[in-house]
Amino acid sequence: MARFLAVDWDHFNVRYLYGTYAGDRLILLKSGSAPLAEPEKADSADETEPPEEEEGAEPDDEADEPQSAPKSRRGAKQAAVKDAVSINRGRILKELLRRDSVPAAPMLICLPRDRAELLNLSLPRLAESELPDIVKNQVLRDGAAYMEGHPLDFIPLAAAGEGGTGKVLSASISRIELRNLRSFASAAGRKPVRIELRLTAPTEFVRSRRLARDGEYLLVQEGLDELNFALFQDREPVYFRTVQIDPALDGAQRQSRLAAEIIRNAQIAAGEEPVTRALIFGAEGEYDALAAALEKENLTLETVDPFVLPGVTAKPEVTGSASLLAPLVGALLAEREKKSRPILDFLHPRRMPKPPNYALPFALFLLVLAGLFAYLWHWNKKDLLRRNNEVAFLAQTLSGVQAEYGQLQPQYAILDGAMGWDRAGVNVLDTLRDILLRFPPAPDMLISRMAYNQFDSMYNSPVFILSAKITEPQVYNRFLRNMTSDGAYRVNSRGPLQTPSATDDETRRVSEYNFTAVILCTRRAPSDYLNRLPDELREVSNQRPEFYGQRIDQNPPAAAPAEDESSDGEEARR
């Protein structure tokens, strides 16, 4: 099982959290902290120096300008002090790990916020692969201390800007800071594999779904001398901010300051709807008084213990403040999968993917293909003539089959079309009579052409094709309504078209419009064909066939009409 060591520090202590994974479950094995020595204060003071002086310690910078030598020497001295502080911090950590018998493991460093430069950028909506170069160029333009070659990473934020823009949080550290971090890890006897920000590390609770909360909420992490805030919307980060706090404040003053900062950041981060929910890392009951104070401001506060979340198990050896160790738990959660990465990593920042190099694979493929082709050609050389003769024989056979197919195809088409009507379960004569009964009467509608296709492959059903003339467009609407009102048929038509026609003074109504329609027929219940029949034919159609013979015998004078009615009834029944 892979094991990891997460470490961070402030101006007072250095801390570690040692853990491993069992499947997807994070198991926290050990934790500890140790106070820092006096040189740490000097390191803190150096952080207030301008970045230009920091960069003056770079080799060969301003080498050709003798007048800048005092500045370079001052920058080199500050860099040496920082490096000494980092080494001293690493030795303290090494002694702490040796005392707690912590085995060797890859180191995950959670960097304090004041060691990095953060910028909020508004960029056009771009593909993720294009963002690294765009962010780098934007930071070069807007960043006060960033220089080419400094470690730079960024976080795409969920909040969208106006005009199709997106929000991005960029973070960078100097090369001197990176060198000091390596010195710190080397002095501790470990090798760093990740360098993250303590501000963004708690985001891993949401990304790993250990903290499953929907909607909008403010995530708060309290440190000894800083407060870290992160706003989430639908499990995506929208806003990050760090606030410095005086560690010398007593309990009541610290709670008052904490409440004020939570309310202020909730208001700053609020969009159209105010943020009404906040989550703070800590032990159960630790922030009950704070929650009561915030409730008066219509802000709900929930305490989250990082050691008892789903998928996290803490051993008894894990002790310490849940709030202080929460970023370290987040750093360990980022290693839950073999190929996963934290949301921010200065050692492995997001980069534009390199274009694949296909030259060598393509050359090898061509070489293998050429050898395979030569081998197969040699192996099939004797068989090629036999196959050519077989192809010629098959071509001659195909020609005869095609000729026979040309003769039989028209007959097959007719038979297949007739079978299509039968497969569709549609009776041609009954359907034709039902369609004619639905037509508007003459002279409103005059049929110029009507044909049926035994089975139309375009519509996958039997169809009637109709061309007709009508006196006005309303007649077409009546025709369409009669055909489709009960769902018996579907009509495909472009509608009526007006056509020029000579005016006949002796005729009142002249057909001035025509239309073409395709009537699609489907299977129907036999009783549906009786709905539009006259009452006499409907009554006859409802009788058994034996009734017709008895009626003819009993009424000889009416034999002919009865026979017609019987014929119609049988046709309707069919």
102/94 Cα distance (integer angstroms): 10
For residue 257 the two structure tokens come to 């300051």
CA distances to 97, 282, 339, 448 from 209, in Å: 30, 18, 17, 72
Return the CATH number at 448: 3.30.1360.100
Nearest Cα to Cα of residue 310 among 210, 395, 214, 378: 210
Cis ω for the linkage preceding 342 (within 30 of 0) = no
Q: What is the dihedral of CA 556, 560, 563, 569, to 10 degrees?
A: -120
**Domain check: are 510 and 545 in the same one?**
no
**Domain check: are 376 and 469 in the same one?**
no
Nearest Cα to Cα of residue 500 among 522, 469, 458: 469
**Domain check: are 94 and 81 in the same one?**
yes
The pLDDT score that the predictor gives to residue 52 is 38
SS3 state at 552: helix
**Domain check: are 443 and 377 in the same one?**
no
DSSP state of 273: S
**Domain check: are 524 and 553 in the same one?**
no
Residue 286 CA to its chain's centroid (Å) = 39
Q: How many CA atoms, within 13 angstroms, populate the side-chain half-sphere of residue 12?
A: 8
* Phi, psi for 272 (deg, rounded to 5): -70, -35
**Domain check: are 389 and 500 in the same one?**
no
- Would 82 be classed as within a structural domain? yes
**Domain check: are 186 and 46 in the same one?**
yes
The answer to whether the beta carbons of residues 506 and 550 sit under 8 Å apart is no
**Domain check: are 41 and 102 in the same one?**
yes
**Domain check: are 394 and 468 in the same one?**
no
CA distances to 352, 378, 446 from 372, in Å: 38, 10, 74
SS3 state at 211: coil
Its domain, for residue 372, covers 363-407
- Would 552 be classed as within a structural domain? yes
The pLDDT score that the predictor gives to residue 427 is 80
CB atoms < 10 A from the CB of 530, how many? 18
**Domain check: are 40 and 177 in the same one?**
yes
Q: Please count the residues of the chain.
A: 574
- Span 330-375, pLDDT tens digits: 999 999 888 788 999 999 998 877 777 778 888 888 999 999 888 8
Return the CATH number at 180: 3.30.420
The pLDDT score that the predictor gives to residue 62 is 36
**Domain check: are 74 and 6 in the same one?**
yes
Number of domains observed in the structure of the chain: 4
- According to DSSP, the β-strands at 277-281 and 216-222 are parallel
The pLDDT score that the predictor gives to residue 459 is 72
**Domain check: are 378 and 522 in the same one?**
no
The pTM of the full predicted model, rounded to 2 decimals, is: 0.59
- Would 139 be classed as within a structural domain? no
Sequential pLDDT tens for the chain (574 residues):
689 999 999 989 999 999 999 988 999 999 999 998 754 544 443 443 334 333 333 334 333 334 444 555 666 667 777 788 899 999 999 999 999 999 999 999 999 998 999 998 888 877 777 888 888 888 888 887 888 889 999 998 875 555 556 889 999 999 999 999 999 999 999 999 999 999 999 999 999 999 888 888 999 999 999 999 999 988 889 989 999 999 888 888 999 999 999 998 888 766 667 788 999 999 998 999 999 999 998 899 999 999 999 999 999 999 989 999 999 999 999 998 887 889 999 999 988 777 777 788 888 889 999 998 888 888 887 788 888 888 999 999 999 999 998 888 888 877 776 677 777 788 888 888 889 989 999 888 999 998 877 666 677 778 889 999 998 999 999 999 999 988 889 999 999 998 766 555 554 445 589 999 999 988 888 888 888 888 777 777 766 666 555 666 666 654 444 444 444 444 444 4
- Mention every residue, 6+ apart, whose C-beta is less than 8 A from residue 139: 119, 121, 146, 152, 170, 172
- Mention every residue, 6+ apart, whose C-beta is less than 8 A from residue 95: 34
CA distances to 31, 70, 336, 337, 490 from 23, in Å: 21, 57, 9, 9, 60
